[in-house]
Amino acid sequence: MSLLRPRMPGRFSDRHQVKVLLRRCGLHTVCEEARCPNIAHCFGRATATFLIMGDRCTRNCAFCAIEHGPPRPLDPQEPSRVAQAASALGLRHVVVTSVTRDDLADGGAEHFRKTVLALRHICPEATVEVLVPDFAGNSHSLDLVLDSAPDVFNHNLETVPRLYRTVRPGAEYRRSLAVLERAAARGRCLTKSGLMVGLGEKEQEVLEVFSDLKEVGCRLVTVGQYLQPRKNKLQPAMLVGEDVFNRLRQAGGEMGLQVVAGPLVRSSWHAEEIFTMAK
């Protein structure tokens, strides 16, 4: 179990200052809302993954701690506040994700676009990574985000197709693959996806997902252990051993993918370093 206890670099006061800045800017982070086990580690390094479009999701995935319920109206000032906070933190690589907003005609794609453009304006030296929902498969929405030219376009498959109905109700495996394929076809950014293991999948099923990702042009994959974030969420079916993560990393490499795998690996875990390695 020690593998599931991250080191906590940085002073408590440093981590506290990150929280103070985020509250002052009126911003949410996926680190807090999704109860990420790496939050102390990342805040101690003065990094955070911004969660835009509110803290309420229109979907209710069985693995996610983010609150489900009627969302609030979009805040038109949020994109500039994200950029200002990123500048204040001195971020060289900014990761932006969101709740899923099926209530919006474009799924919030224009809000993503505005956030990337605000970052380009206020933090021109920083690279930008977006971790997007599936936008219900709307190609126009995807193109809005892609037209803002993020450096990394990330959309998580999360799990193997067999478990989608249980783990990701409202999502479709092939639709998510199509999101990544459209991004990769543009050829302007690194495409990335993430998976959780320990939900009852078989190792061969994960390798089949790797093959599908390779086929649609995805280059980078993160794989981490699923941990139950709240008592009313799915319990892990198993804790995956380090040997499995090693095999997945090696097998993905042999397919031509760059796979970052380990118990505490998450989509935005050490995102800047991973992007630098993958360029």
Please identify, in words, the CATH class of the domain defined by 2-278: alpha beta
pLDDT at 32: 93
Residue 251 has pLDDT above 90, yes or no: yes
By the 8 A CB rule, do 49 and 28 touch?
A: no
Mean pLDDT of 103-113: 97
Percent of the chain with pLDDT over 90: 87
Q: What's the Cα-to-Cα distance from 189 to each of 51, 129, 270, rounded to whole Å?
A: 21, 9, 18
Q: What is the pLDDT of residues 119-154, one digit of tens each?
A: 999 999 999 999 999 999 999 999 999 999 999 999
pLDDT at 12: 45
Residue 14 has pLDDT above 80, yes or no: no
Q: What global pTM score does this model have?
A: 0.93
pLDDT at 10: 47
